Every structure is written in structure tokens, then in C-alpha cells.
Amino acid sequence: MPKYRLNPLVLLSLFSASALAEPVKGLVDGQLAPCPDKPNCISTEKGSLSPIAFGNTNPKKAWEMLQESIIELNGKIESKQDNYLWASFTTPMLKFTDDVEARLDLTNKVIQLRSASRTGYYDFNANKNRLNLLINRVNRKLNPGSLKNIHE
């Protein structure tokens, strides 16, 4: 039976990558931090996805729906305030942690979102897919009779 040995350098690089993780920045000048020039981050602030529009729904209720949806998608809410939320998601197989941030924008009646990998460069659209799932789930809660959001 062949024996497999783990290369200590490979192990060191895998575990030390978490030490290089970018910290969650929170709000910067009242907005979510811009994404770095890497494909493993996506934001609705100035990105390609639309934020969650809650329209005439009570903003507090929309904020609660977002939190429920994060938990339903196996996220962990790390910190929450009246207008800012930080949650983490751990990938099932490799146990990488990604961060999702949200900002309640009362002026425009939307919830802005940002999702980013803590480590690495590519994420194979994991963060974009996660935000799409989250946006669709909250939209279904906001508009329960609508069939518009069926991409999950």
C-alpha cells in the first residue's frame, strides 16, 4: 500500500494564508469598502449586481429578512448594527471563510451588499453566486407572491 506524505511547505502555505487574510473594513465614508482589484470580491455599491430594494417595506423588517436569509444559507452573523452587518460563510469542502457585509441605505430604500474571500485570488464565482442566492431569497420574502426571483 503506498504511503502518502504531506509536504510541510504545502501545509505551511495553506495555513499561513489565513494570516494574510484581508480584515473586514466595515463602512468607509458611509459606504461598504470598495472591492480590491481581485475577482474574489463583488459589491452592489458600484458593482454589477443590483442591491436589495425594499421599497415601501419597513426598513427594520427588510433588515430582519436579510439576517434570516443569511442564517438560512448557513452564514454566521458576526456583528450587526442598525445600518451595518457583517457575516461569515465557510466553504464546505476546504473550509475557506468568506465575508459578507451589508449596509442599510434608508435614503435609497435599498440594502447594499459586499461579499469577499478572505484569502486567495480566484473564487470561481462563489461570492457572486452567494450574493445572488441571498438577494433572491430576500426578494422572495419581500414579494412572496412574485415568481420573478427563481434563480436559486
The reported pTM is 0.81
Q: Which amino acid, one-letter code, is at 105?
A: D
Contact (Cβ atoms closer than 8 angstroms) between residue 128 and residue 44: no
135, pLDDT greater than 90:
yes
What is the three-class DSSP state of 124? coil
Spatial separation of the C-alpha atoms in residues 145 and 75, rounded to whole Å? 26
Cell, residue 48: 454589477
Q: Which CATH architecture has domain 26-140?
A: 2-Layer Sandwich (3.30)
Number of neighbouring beta carbons within 10 Å of residue 143: 13
* For the chain, domain boundaries: 26-140
DSSP 35: P
Compute the average pLDDT of residues 39-44.
Answer: 96
Q: What is the pLDDT of residue 20?
A: 53
Q: What is the pLDDT of residue 6?
A: 53
Identify which of 115, 99, 93, 4 has the alpha carbon closest to the alpha carbon of residue 49: 115
Contact (Cβ atoms closer than 8 angstroms) between residue 32 and residue 101: yes
Spatial separation of the C-alpha atoms in residues 58 and 13, rounded to whole Å? 47
N residues, the chain: 152
15, pLDDT greater than 70:
no
DSSP 18: G
**pLDDT-derived band at 147, boundaries 50, 70, 90:** low
The mean pLDDT value of the chain amounts to: 86
Using a pLDDT cut of 70, give the percent of the chain over it.
Answer: 81
| 74 contacts: CB under 8 Å, gap ≥ 6 | 89, 90
8, pLDDT greater than 70:
no
